[in-house]
Structure 1
Amino acid sequence: MAAASFLWVSCAEQKPAQKAETSEKASIETFKIAREKLSTELRLPAELTGFQEVNIYAKISSFVKELKVDIGSTVKKGQLLMVLEAPETSSQLSAAKSRLHSQEAVYMASNGTYNRLLEASKTEGTVSKNELDVAESKKNADFAQLQAAKAAYQEIQNLISYLQIHAPFDGVVAARNVNIGAYVGPAGKGSDLPLLVVQQQNKLRLAVYVPELYTGYLSIGDELSFSVKSLLGKKFKAKIARKAGALDSRLRSERVEMDVYNESKLLLPGMVAEVLLPLNAKDSTFVVPKSALVASSEGNFVLQVENNQTKRTHIQKGREFADKVEVFGELTPSAVLVKNASEEIKDGTAVK
């Protein structure tokens, strides 16, 4: 029994030593960094609007006399949409026309007087130089008054032309906020809402705000796909047509617009779409497995192996795709990194 007890104690003392020896020899897996052109996709909400859209208001205070269109009406450029009525403008036009005729008569008289004096002055001593100058000045002043009267008359005519509202482009009437007899005007209660809203719906504008981090991956002409909730399972294609070239001060993102041709009228202005943006790298970048990246309170870093020892190298994280991630920092093409990095591996850890 004594011999057996001694043997059991000896075995118990040897086991921890063997375990420690095994842990010291534990290997650390490494890999050589490589460059890749990472292609990822970004899903963002976007909004569809009419390529052209206008809210139509009344230029002068008036009443609605005729409505030629209603909601959903398809209109052509220049088509008459609405007729307004303002009786006082007719009186103003008559008054302006009378002033114009009066001024024409005054100018004709002063012009005739000047021409007769000019003809008489050809005979020396008949008309003084001062009298001729006074007649010429009177003629010029009356001509200026005539031009002012013509301008005033034209102004009233222009105001009357605003009583007939025409379509500014081909489109569809999306809203109507007045009825016949309603009072409308440039100010006051009659100007709260637009009379009509006209939208171009055969061509739409798809606008999306792209975060600052991803703006450099998009170029004009890139093709993307999008979908809307009302047409589940159906995908639409569009190409980037315009970029703002600046970041929105509130969202810190860039507005990117696509032109969407909508001849079938399946898509409606105001729809919210989900856009799938392709983010294709222009140049190859360093790409590492996600397990090689450590995110700590001190920042993101990888464990670089130099002279068979680990060294923390702080980096900036880029795009992520599946189990890979872009990294930017002081890394060389021949760098060797620890594949399964963690904060427990300190600087200077021996690596075989």
Structure 2
Amino acid sequence: MKYIYIIITLLTVIACKNEEQAHSHENENDVHKDAHITVTQDQFQSEEMALGAIEPQTFNKGIITSGIIDVPPHNKATISSFMGGYITKTPLLIGDQVKKGQLLVSLENPEFVELQQHYLEIAEQLKYLKSEFDRQQILFEEQITSQKKFLKAESDYKRSLAEYNGLRKKLKMLNINPVLVEKGQITSTVNLYSPIEGHVTKVNVSNGIYVAPSDMIMEIIDTEHIHLELAVFEKDILNVNKGQKITFKIPEASSKTFEAEVHLVGTTVDPKNRIITVHGHILNEEETNFIVGMFVEAQIISDSVNKPALPNEAIIEYENANYVLYVKEKTNTNYTFEKVKVTVGLQNESYSEILNPSDLNGKTILSKGGYMLLADEGGGHSH
């Protein structure tokens, strides 16, 4: 009986060990299964997957900044009048293109008439005073009249001449022709003309409204040459130099990246926010359609380095780590992939630096479409 009990005990132990080995073998199969991901050729093509390899890519180091699209000061004109008046004609709207010298707006004011009348009176008076001055000069030289009378005639004439010249300049500033005024042609209307060629960007008036001399009537901008006005913090400005490359985006309007270069670096620091203005020339400006005032996000490139990298699409974030899939085996019908953990360094829009490139050297990488293979919870799976 004792021997039978020993035999039964031994058989039980053996059975348990066999069961444990069976479970262990199953677990090994599960690990092997989870470590590999297989897709068919048809799935590879339908998901538009692609293969690649780790290779050197250029990464830019630079200064992140922001600013606006602007034009040089001489390409922008603010239209106002030297004297107040009532608007009688406004033929232009925002967006209209204007030529240099084109009529922009007309104003009317009784003061324009009074100014011309005063000028005409002074012009007539000047003729008499000039004649009297010439007469007194001759008499004084012939010692017929006194020096006092001569000096008075000279003073009256020169004072009147100065007033005449001042009024003449004022009329020209108002675009009123003094020659026509002296012929008796007096107008109550003043016309303002465009000093530059460009587009109307602001109109602040309408017919019948009164504008004071300090009021801006409209604004005209010539967009023939636009540029970047960037704000760089004081701590970064010593790394900015003329000729450096700039990459920038218009985040509200496009995802495309544009290029410019540093043309001028400001020489003074704004005391309030400690920034310096950097002026950048836009490359291929004729191919763009920017509007003055657009907000830009930019990077001034101060250095460039080559690093081993992979496309951003090849890197899969999974369980708080980054992985890539490489081809473990390829047959006529299937691709078998295995995942490798990677450490990411520098990044740009298209590529990421791989800090452990030796783990991927010589391997064919799944550069596109890998996210779907690791997306499901629970790790690798067969497709």
Bin for the TM-score computed over the shorter chain = 0.5 to 0.7
**Cross-structure match for 1:252:** 274
**Cross-structure match for 1:158:** 172
Q: Take 2:85 and 2:239, find their aligned partners in 1: how far apart are those partners? A: 53
Q: Take 1:202 and 1:218, find their aligned partners in 2: how far apart are those partners? A: 26
The answer to whether 1:171 aligns with 2:204 is no
Match 1:139 to one of 125, 143, 153? 153
Match 1:224 to one of 246, 250, 262? 246
Q: Take 1:114 and 1:246, find their aligned partners in 2: how far apart are those partners? A: 59
- One-letter amino acid of the counterpart of residue 234, structure 2: E
- Aligned partner of residue 137 in structure 1, secondary structure: helix
Deviations 1:270-305 (A, max 9, x none): 211111221229xxxxxxxxxxxxxxxxxxxxxxxx
The answer to whether 1:45 aligns with 2:69 is no
Q: TM-score, normalised by structure 2?
A: 0.54
Comparing 219-228 with 110-119, which one deviates more in the overlay? 110-119
Deviations 1:198-230 (A, max 9, x none): 112232221222223322222111121111124
> Is the CA contact (8 Å cut-off) linking 1:240 and 1:259 kept in structure 2?
yes
- Aligned partner of residue 98 in structure 1, secondary structure: helix
> Is the CA contact (8 Å cut-off) linking 1:64 and 1:183 kept in structure 2?
yes
**Cross-structure match for 1:236:** 258
List gaps (5 residues or longer) in structure 2. Answer: 1-58, 177-189, 305-343, 347-383
Deviation at 1:62, TM superposition (A): 0.3
> Is the CA contact (8 Å cut-off) linking 2:240 and 2:265 kept in structure 1?
no
> Is the CA contact (8 Å cut-off) linking 1:100 and 1:149 kept in structure 2?
no
Residues 291-330 of structure 1: pairs in structure 2 closer than 5 A: 322=345
Q: Output the aligned Cα RMSD.
A: 2.8
- One-letter amino acid of the counterpart of residue 241, structure 1: H
Q: What is the total number of aligned residue pairs between the two structures?
A: 233
- Aligned partner of residue 100 in structure 1, secondary structure: helix
> Is the CA contact (8 Å cut-off) linking 2:197 and 2:222 kept in structure 1?
yes
**Cross-structure match for 2:323:** none
Match 2:110 to one of 67, 72, 87? 87
Cα distance change, pair 249–142 in 1 and its aligned pair in 2 (3 A): closer
Cα distance change, pair 72–264 in 1 and its aligned pair in 2 (3 A): farther
Cα distance change, pair 245–148 in 1 and its aligned pair in 2 (3 A): closer
Cα distance change, pair 264–94 in 1 and its aligned pair in 2 (3 A): farther
- Aligned partner of residue 124 in structure 2, secondary structure: helix
- One-letter amino acid of the counterpart of residue 250, structure 2: V
> Is the CA contact (8 Å cut-off) linking 2:202 and 2:219 kept in structure 1?
yes
- One-letter amino acid of the counterpart of residue 62, structure 2: E
Q: Take 1:113 and 1:39, find their aligned partners in 2: how far apart are those partners? A: 83
- Aligned partner of residue 199 in structure 2, secondary structure: strand
Cα distance change, pair 172–137 in 1 and its aligned pair in 2 (3 A): same
Match 1:60 to one of 83, 98, 111? 83
Q: Take 2:230 and 2:68, find their aligned partners in 1: how far apart are those partners? A: 7
> Is the CA contact (8 Å cut-off) linking 1:97 and 1:153 kept in structure 2?
no
> Is the CA contact (8 Å cut-off) linking 2:140 and 2:150 kept in structure 1?
no
- One-letter amino acid of the counterpart of residue 259, structure 2: K
- Aligned partner of residue 82 in structure 1, secondary structure: strand
List gaps (5 residues or longer) in structure 1. Answer: 1-37, 122-126, 282-320, 324-352
**Cross-structure match for 1:71:** 94
Q: Take 2:192 and 2:137, find their aligned partners in 1: how far apart are those partners? A: 47
Q: Take 1:102 and 1:246, find their aligned partners in 2: how far apart are those partners? A: 54
Please identify runs of 4+ aligned residues in structure 1 that moved more than 4 A: none
Cα distance change, pair 272–149 in 1 and its aligned pair in 2 (3 A): closer
Q: TM-score, normalised by structure 1?
A: 0.59
